[in-house]
């Protein structure tokens, strides 16, 4: 599909709304602070809901937003009518927050034709494009088949070795105040701290309001933290906003992965000064 990459503009989506094989997914989740977007009742026409919390996470896992099994992802995607040849555009109602997580999950389970809508629903509305009320629809089952790409994921057991390997760079997407332990973690009972030898790039720093900053500006920020030949490992609070950085890094050509458990897992399993 012409113009289809890892990120598409709202203008591109408007021009392709009626294309065959296009599936639009709303991957909105509430922020951990509990704030709910005023846009939660609206959607781009013909959108389907990509339920990260209940359908596309392992709900029996100890930590939030844990990556689902291959079979769970495959079946949940099929229930949304996703096919092998689907072109998928994901967005969220907060701009660029949780939609990159959906993009990352599709990439991790072998579906390459997936893009994030730059600026999400807010940018769509800012451009004056039409919306509709959210609705629940049953879809014909798709023929999507998941193929797990293990290179996209980093697990707790690998972190100690990675943190001491100069071929890797761990980058934390949390706010600078959280990274520097100036404010407490929003999750009750979770200690403050950082993964050893990690650097900080708050995901908001690569955004201009709702949209990604110009590629050249984002490239400058990554250049300060990492070498072009290093494999980047992104982390955050629970694996959501780390995917915003993964999306940006992918558009720049960096090899990268996401530490799925992120600080919620690491800070719980590894005690301070351990």
Tens digits of residue pLDDT in 234-249: 999 999 999 999 999 9
> Which range among 37-41, 149-153, 228-232 shows the weakest confidence by mean pLDDT?
37-41
Mean pLDDT calculated for residue range 108-125: 97
Query: What stretches of 7-156 adopt beta strand conformation (E)?
Result: 7-8, 22-26, 42-43, 47-49, 87-91, 114-117, 132-133, 153-154
- The packing angle between helices 242-252 and 215-225, to 10°, is 100
Q: Any catalytic annotation for residue 243?
A: no
Q: Which two tokens mark 274?
A: 């351990």
Q: How confident is the model over 26-75, as pLDDT tens digits?
A: 999 965 555 555 677 899 999 999 999 999 999 999 999 999 999 999 99
Is residue 274 scored above 80 in pLDDT?
no
User: In angstroms, rounded to a whole number, what is the distance separating the alpha carbons of residues 10 and 12?
Assistant: 5
User: In angstroms, rounded to a whole number, what is the distance separating the alpha carbons of residues 143 and 84?
Assistant: 6
Beta strand 42-43 with 211-212: parallel, antiparallel or unpaired? unpaired
Is residue 224 scored above 90 in pLDDT?
yes
Mean pLDDT calculated for residue range 162-177: 98
**% of residues, the chain, pLDDT over 90:** 91
- Domains of the chain, start order: 7-148 (3.40.250.10), 152-269 (3.40.250.10)
Q: What pTM, to 2 d.p., does this model score?
A: 0.95
Catalytically annotated residue among 67, 116, 171, 236 = 236
């Amino acid at each position: 599909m012409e113009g289809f990459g890892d990120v598409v503009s709202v203008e591109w989506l408007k021009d392709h709304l009626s294309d065959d094989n296009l599936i639009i997914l709303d991957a909105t989740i509430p922020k951990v602070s509990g704030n709910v977007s005023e846009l939660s009742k609206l959607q781009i026409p013909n959108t389907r809901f990509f339920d990260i919390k209940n359908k596309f996470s392992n709900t029996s896992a100890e930590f939030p937003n844990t990556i689902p099994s291959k079979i769970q992802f495959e079946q949940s995607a099929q229930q949304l009518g996703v096919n092998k040849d689907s072109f998928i555009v994901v967005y969220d109602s907060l701009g660029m927050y949780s939609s990159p997580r959906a993009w990352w999950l599709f990439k991790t389970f072998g579906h390459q034709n997936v893009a994030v809508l730059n600026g999400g629903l807010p940018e769509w509305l800012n451009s004056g494009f039409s919306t509709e009320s959210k609705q629940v629809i049953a879809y014909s089952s798709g023929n999507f088949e998941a193929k797990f790409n293990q290179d996209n994921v980093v697990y707790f057991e690998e972190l100690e070795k990675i943190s001491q390997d100069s071929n890797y760079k761990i980058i934390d997407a949390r706010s600078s105040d959280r990274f520097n332990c100036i404010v407490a973690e929003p999750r009750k009972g979770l200690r403050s701290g950082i993964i050893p030898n990690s650097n900080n790039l708050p995901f908001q720093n690569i955004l201009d309001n709702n949209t990604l900053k110009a590629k050249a500006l984002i490239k400058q920020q990554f250049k300060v933290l990492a070498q072009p030949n290093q494999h980047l490992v992104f982390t955050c609070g629970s694996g959501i906003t780390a995917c915003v950085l993964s999306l940006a890094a992918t558009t720049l050509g960096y090899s990268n992965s996401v530490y799925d458990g992120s600080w919620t897992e690491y800070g719980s399993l590894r005690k301070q000064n351990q």
